[in-house]
Structure 1
Amino acid sequence: MPASVKVGVLNDMADFSEPDVTGAVPGDITGWIEREIGRLRDAGRLSAEIEIVHAYGLGLPSGTAEAVENAYRQLAGEGVCLIVGPAIGDNALVATPLAEQMRIPTINWAGAERARGRYMFQHQVGSHEDESLVMARHLAALGCRRVAVAYDTSPIGTRHLKYLEDEARILGLAVIAREGLLPVADEAGEAATALLEAEPDGIAYLGLGVSAPAVARGLADAGWYGPSIMNTAGLRGYHGDFARICEGWFYIDVHSDDNATLRALLEEMEAPRQQAAAIAKGHDLGRLVAEGLARAGDFSREGVRLGLEQVKWLAAAEGHEGTMLGFGIQDRGALHGRYLVVRQWLGGESREVAA
């Protein structure tokens, strides 16, 4: 085996190649990968020296698909045996054919279920398909029968809309109004007014989340106080003013208060509950990478692909208690079980909603 093994990290949420003065890079998960690799090294399961190689490209919706492709090709040229990223669904769809063409095992941590293949593995930080189903069922449980939808006019938003409408038909919900928005829209007053003119008893937002505050403000200004729900766009509430603007909104999260693995991590790290979502995601993604490398027969790209397929039945920090982490032959979705959790923003805090 080689003395040094290169693992690529593709960051599609940054338009710079150097961290700021605090050392922070938006969307960087390097620390979690190194943490889990260190654990397996201490256990004697991984002896090779692992070098993390970075590539940055501001992807969709703020940037371009070309930037993501260039970043992926940069890592390929560095001779990495594994790539981690992208994190945004639209960009994961861009990277998937590249992974298949170049035969580089890749783990995206996005919501695009279509971003899977022989070489493209998915760590589902949300799901365009599964989230929409959970959202529709939650609205139905709240007694809603007439739903209006604001959605991003992007692969993320339109995919969510299709699956929400499909589940709504099964549940007897009527989607009575739809308003498409630019994914980076910062004003949605007209769209909010149009949605409310249809007299809904429930509202849904579907998209990446950049436009979600505009929708929430528009609805609040128009006097809407009924049930509102969004997809994992609501995870943005852990930063900035998002939670305050989206007060009262239900949303889909990836962590649950009942997850024993997550509780143990929070205690070990002496971390506040506000960091639970980030810790759950980082731990699980880092563990997939470390276990895939440790289980590889060799550090060729084919060896690492086979190693990832052997990662099975690990307790996940994400999801409800009992959620499992792993892959398999023709199984490219990492999380198995009830990995999506309905939560609500109340008073600036995320609170779990009883299932």
Structure 2
Amino acid sequence: MTAPLRVGLLGDMSSGPPGPVDLEPWLRRAVEDLHAAGALQNPVEFVHAFGLGLPQGEAGNVERAFAELADAGALLVVGPAIGDNALIATPLAEQFGLPTINWAGSEYARNRYMFQLQVGSHQDEPLLLADYLARRGARELAVIYDASPIGEGYVQALGYAARTRGLEMAASAIDPLAENADDALAQVLDSATSACLYLGLGHCIAAVNTALDAAGWCGERITTSAGIRGYHPQFAAHLEGWVYVDLWSEGNRTLAALRQRFELDISASFAAAKGWDLGRLVAHALASAPEATREGVLRGLELTKWLPAAEGEEGTLLGFGAWDRGALHGRYLVPRRWVDGRSVAVAMD
């Protein structure tokens, strides 16, 4: 029997199964499609390792989980999901010579062996939000950001974008796990404020929203892809009315076909788009690999190009290249707003 190609799944958001996210079914669907088409010959085996990373856990947990997958003979790793942990794993991918696809938000979580599916972007999202605010005549911004690499990446990029768009901002840092944001908000919110932004991972979005309510703030509330937490009931009420950044569009024909094929409700669009795009990157890399080795899979990733993405606006493309480690190309970030518990598109004009 042909030896299986082993793919490692690194769960950095929990210390064990099942974890908050299970990507394996989506990866299996994409692999099965290429098996059925005859493009992929070898069987594929998925192995899991869990290490609760930052901000709730420790960096060492991610390091241990990554080493477990390397020792298990993985030819390719998928994960981590959180930007801080992707930064931890990036030198490990190089150390082990192990091709890895993180699905986090930092452009700095890339190197020869570390590839990225941008499920959000600490560098690009602030540009989108700055354009959105400038086109609506905003001038003074109150910004609360996580005191972490994620939050600091966001606020730095927003600062650059603001200066070129005539926006001014007052920013205050907050613990990524804070349960109270009153003091941080009081430092930046005043009568001239046009909009209030939260930049971070999203664990403390409830605290920020509660502080805005307590301050009687009736202006625009805006966040990053942290707003994707609105799909979870424990965060939904706190994100009502917020503008945020998502990765799916009603106009994306690849996503529409995917929902039809698997009979998915539109509310499953984000999870389906992300899972399907990750799955196709994995499946096509394995099918394109010239040999069943880590270096072969690295080459297979570089040969994976120009796939229509389920994420983003229609026309977004998926793939890598010899010096290209960011998978999504085009208008992959989509501004949306939570209205009555539903995610609705927001016009940029």
TM-score range, shorter chain: over 0.9
Residue of structure 2 equivalent to 1:166: 160
CA contact (8 A) 2:205 2:238 kept: no
Report the alpha carbon displacement of residue 28 of structure 1 after superposing the two structures with TM.
Answer: 2.1
List aligned pairs for 1:278-289, cutoff 5 A.
Answer: 278-289=271-282
Identify the match of residue 26 of structure 1 among 15, 20, 30: 20
Q: Does 1:51 align with 2:31?
A: no
Aligned AA (1:12):
D
Q: Does 1:205 align with 2:198?
A: yes
Aligned AA (1:9):
L
CA contact (8 A) 1:149 1:204 kept: yes
Q: Does 1:65 align with 2:59?
A: yes
- Unmatched segments (≥5 aa) in structure 1: 20-24
List aligned pairs for 1:174-323, cutoff 5 A.
Answer: 174-175=168-169, 177-197=170-190, 199-323=192-316
CA contact (8 A) 2:117 2:327 kept: yes
Residue of structure 2 equivalent to 1:15: 15
Q: Does 1:4 align with 2:17?
A: no
Instruction: Find the residue that maps to 1:68 and give its secondary structure.
Output: helix
Q: Which deviations, in whole Å up to 9, do the C-alpha atoms of 1:172-191 show, x marking residues without a partner?
A: 1011x211111011111222
Residue of structure 2 equivalent to 1:148: 142
CA distance in 2, matches of 1:60, 1:198: 36
Instruction: Find the residue that maps to 1:213 and give its secondary structure.
Output: helix
CA contact (8 A) 2:248 2:310 kept: yes
Residue of structure 2 equivalent to 1:129: 123
Report the alpha carbon displacement of residue 157 of structure 1 after superposing the two structures with TM.
Answer: 0.1
Report the alpha carbon displacement of residue 139 of structure 1 after superposing the two structures with TM.
Answer: 1.1
Aligned AA (2:78):
V
Report the alpha carbon displacement of residue 199 of structure 1 after superposing the two structures with TM.
Answer: 3.2
Q: Which deviations, in whole Å up to 9, do the C-alpha atoms of 1:207-226 show, x marking residues without a partner?
A: 00001111011101211111
Aligned AA (1:99):
A
Identify the match of residue 346 of structure 1 among 339, 343, 349: 339
Aligned AA (2:10):
L
CA contact (8 A) 1:148 1:198 kept: no
Instruction: Find the residue that maps to 1:45 and give its secondary structure.
Output: coil
CA distance in 1, matches of 2:134, 2:206: 24
Instruction: Find the residue that maps to 1:71 and give its secondary structure.
Output: helix
Aligned AA (1:57):
G
Q: Which deviations, in whole Å up to 9, do the C-alpha atoms of 1:66-120 show, x marking residues without a partner?
A: 0000000010011110000000000000000000111100000000100001100
Number of aligned positions between the proteins: 348
Structure 1 segments, 4+ long, off by >3 Å, are: none
CA distance in 2, matches of 1:196, 1:257: 35
CA contact (8 A) 1:319 1:339 kept: yes
Aligned AA (1:147):
L
TM-score (normalised: structure 2): 0.98
CA contact (8 A) 2:178 2:207 kept: yes
CA distance in 1, matches of 2:117, 2:255: 17
- Unmatched segments (≥5 aa) in structure 2: none
Q: CA RMSD in A?
A: 1.1
Higher mean Cα deviation, 236-245 or 37-46? 236-245
CA distance in 2, matches of 1:268, 1:285: 17
CA contact (8 A) 1:87 1:109 kept: yes
Aligned AA (2:115):
F
Instruction: Find the residue that maps to 1:195 and give its secondary structure.
Output: coil
Identify the match of residue 329 of structure 1 among 317, 322, 327: 322
Aligned AA (1:46):
L
CA contact (8 A) 1:228 1:249 kept: yes
CA distance in 1, matches of 2:71, 2:13: 21
Q: Does 1:109 align with 2:103?
A: yes
Aligned AA (1:172):
G
Residue of structure 2 equivalent to 1:22: none
Aligned AA (1:221):
A
CA distance in 1, matches of 2:337, 2:171: 23
CA contact (8 A) 2:62 2:88 kept: yes
Report the alpha carbon displacement of residue 317 of structure 1 after superposing the two structures with TM.
Answer: 0.3
CA distance in 2, matches of 1:200, 1:223: 13
Aligned AA (1:337):
G
Residue of structure 1 equivalent to 2:92: 98
- Percent identity over the alignment is 53
